[in-house]
Structure 1
């Protein structure tokens, strides 16, 4: 059916029914340890035994046949106001009964919900499992933010196609279940009320025996901490209970922070040496040389193709301009072109899915006065990191020192006033939650204090941590497949 393939394409994920059926998660882990690609970690090894158990059950699992519901069956037989309520999981007594029935029946195979701090190896373990999913099952692996973007887009398309009074969630559930029996989510988190209510109804269907989807999710939060303090959170509690019921919840408490394991540092991030002014001839010449060298390196298998100017991609029916690129290989933006104009997560996800590498030039000092630009940059970095794309930049200083107080910043954003000695007792951030709970550096926690919201603080700190990882030779040399 046409709409099924549309949604499948929108997932931007590796979805396949074929894989190496000889490998189990444990065998693949042992192989990579022998090859020196992974460090043997006893905490991770314990979890791999659980993954192997799930792998064995999936080898004998036959998912149910999923039929797409008819449009007539989804049209309202009640008033419009109640249809609105149905979207938020309150579609009268019948809906409550149906939901309760689905929550009381177990899937024959339980998925995995793996949570722990940043840097403990959750994503690596999920990727290990994903590569060994038995070949008889269709699978998808997505960053959760990307999944929700695609979900909202498909929902919008269906409502335009069939009318706003049609309950599209059963259609969405059937399309997902038809394309993916095993659904892997990285960075599972819920912060938006619309996401929370949509997700509640969708997951109730997907994880029921009628749809038979097996969930593998990684998260920085335990299930009971999802959507904490969110609007209408009480309506999301059934989704949390369902996740706990239909997955094995595992806490990865490895004492090793793999972000801090020493790795060779490449020269992808250029900034002038102390005392060299940004606008000086020598610095501008160095920037130009740095950009040209990395563009050539990122584009080395594509050099015969013409470099395009003002190339366009389509996002949600509108045009997204790429100032300079070699399609599928490398795209180049100034910081202002990337973050100084209104762009959303969908734009950055589209870029990350279309290119392997990015060059971002002219990154200035950043402060609270340009918070929107900082947020966009973080969103872009998340998209690039999750797609395992590569990044080279020219910036006014290193990323650790890029974020400054507004009063320290001169007008052109590439100069600072001389710092005056500050009096009084300064916060050392030794007791900050980012340091104690998540293991971030105190300097990162200090920079993150510019944000008032805990989720933004965490996202900012994680971005700085990921930038460090993305600068390693290991990251640069292991380019993602096209």
Structure 2
């Protein structure tokens, strides 16, 4: 058996390896990860992309002047701008002006939770070194051209895009903002790595094809991970027929890598010894609850005080109030964060401000907590992405926190009511679209036109527990002793 292992290692050493495979094999040899054939194949694919970055052309010229500065001709100039971009792309591809060989193809990676999609993408991202000149990676033969990069959760990226659209339209309400915004994004990063590519918001769905077409045409390379195959993106969403051209474009311009054959959730193998999840039921002895409270106070750094509240600014001119806090930790009741109409932008701002967040009185999330569960999953994703330590005090054990449910809409006299039941499975939606009323109040937008039915609820009704599965898996990983940031 030992001879077989030695022969296998020797065979691997004969094969040419890129930086991603080398980094992966170092971790395997060190016992940090377990060798997985699907991960090995993905690493090889990412090595090919790394090598092809050498052919990435220079950044395009940025159009600094908004079309609205030219009175009466904004639409014409914007059309001319788009035509110029297309002409440049055609000339480059036909004449080989900038490319030597095939241009880099973006990659879309999909598969179940915990199979290593984000892990391998992060190894690839780390291997792409930002440099003013060509460089050699670890004194090897691998090099790529000057490049800028950005790694971001997909939902946070779309929030950024919508905020840019909002700001641009304030000054140029009659112009198409996306060509200018695409130019900005391309100037900031030639490599975009997206984690958790998921479409549940019609506002995202309607702009993705134009946005990504512009980005790809501006020589931006994209690597994305998702729990969803391209064919099932925005499944069940309102006006999905208008979204289908984006799926066709994705399949045509990206290399699609499936890890659906992998069924091992490696996050669940993480030893959760970081004391980040506490629970007791209503029948628990007072001493149990007192002990949990004492441990929460120890993590917080002392008794929680409401003497000095802090207002955390959020995108679009909004803010979140934090009543119990210190320099590094915020302490909330579940109702403060998940009973209120908060969304990803709010949670991301909190994570940027606090490296530790404590939430107590977390209920079992079943069909009676549809909106609350959706917000809670969004919060977990924000904490995971920012490596914020999330400490929970709940009413049930972690393996019973999420209860699968499904939803359907029943209409009467043109209105609708959302009906949920405790069977099957449903992923609480990832997105929250916030609308501001004339009175300055915020509420969640219902694009369905049905009373009491939000777009997020309706479009994710049959998403079969993807978000719940991801959230439960991430909570296990986040309970590790080494989890969090300083």
* TM-score clears 0.5: yes
Name the SS for the 2:210 alignment partner: helix
1:193 is aligned to: 202
Name the SS for the 1:207 alignment partner: helix
Residues 1:272 and 2:284 are matched in the alignment? no
Q: Is the 8 A contact 1:57 1:109 kept in 2?
A: yes
Between the two proteins, the alignment pairs up a number of residues equal to: 399
**After superposition, what is the alpha-carbon deviation per residue over 1:380-434, rounded to whole angstroms, capped at 9, x for unaligned?**
112112222211122222233446899xxxxxxxxxxxxxxxxxxx9997xx799
Mapped partners of 1:471, 1:77: distance in 2 = 59
Matches within 5 A, 1:78-477: 108-135=103-130, 136-160=146-170, 162-208=171-217, 211-252=218-259, 253-261=261-269, 263-272=271-280, 275-277=283-285, 280=286, 282-296=287-301, 309-316=308-315, 317-327=317-327, 329-402=328-401, 453-455=461-463, 457-473=465-481, 477=482
**After superposition, what is the alpha-carbon deviation per residue over 1:441-478, rounded to whole angstroms, capped at 9, x for unaligned?**
xxxxxxxxxx98123743233222322222233xxx14
Mapped partners of 1:101, 1:74: distance in 2 = 24
Mapped partners of 2:301, 2:264: distance in 1 = 36
Name the SS for the 2:197 alignment partner: coil
Matches within 5 A, 1:44-59: 44-59=39-54
Q: Is the 8 A contact 2:114 2:265 kept in 1?
A: yes
Q: CA deviation at 1:284?
A: 3.9
Residues 1:40 and 2:40 are matched in the alignment? no
Mapped partners of 1:155, 1:465: distance in 2 = 34
Q: More displaced, 147-156 or 310-319?
A: 310-319
Mapped partners of 1:235, 1:100: distance in 2 = 26
Mapped partners of 1:104, 1:187: distance in 2 = 34
Q: Is the 8 A contact 2:112 2:263 kept in 1?
A: no
Mapped partners of 1:104, 1:228: distance in 2 = 37
Name the SS for the 1:338 alignment partner: helix
Mapped partners of 1:403, 1:216: distance in 2 = 30
Mapped partners of 1:74, 1:233: distance in 2 = 36
Mapped partners of 1:122, 1:131: distance in 2 = 14
Alpha-carbon RMSD across the aligned residues, in angstroms, is 3.8
Q: TM-score, normalised by structure 1?
A: 0.72
Q: CA deviation at 1:97?
A: 12
Q: CA deviation at 1:75?
A: 7.0
Q: More displaced, 189-198 or 117-126?
A: 189-198
**After superposition, what is the alpha-carbon deviation per residue over 1:103-157, rounded to whole angstroms, capped at 9, x for unaligned?**
9986711121111111111010111111111323110011111111111111101
The 1:97–1:385 alpha-carbon spacing in structure 2 relative to 1, beyond 3 Å, is same
Structure 2 alignment gaps of length 5 or more:
1-16, 94-101, 131-145, 406-420, 428-458
Q: More displaced, 261-270 or 168-177?
A: 261-270
Mapped partners of 2:369, 2:272: distance in 1 = 33
Q: CA deviation at 1:275?
A: 4.2
2:442 is aligned to: none
2:437 is aligned to: none
Mapped partners of 2:62, 2:81: distance in 1 = 21
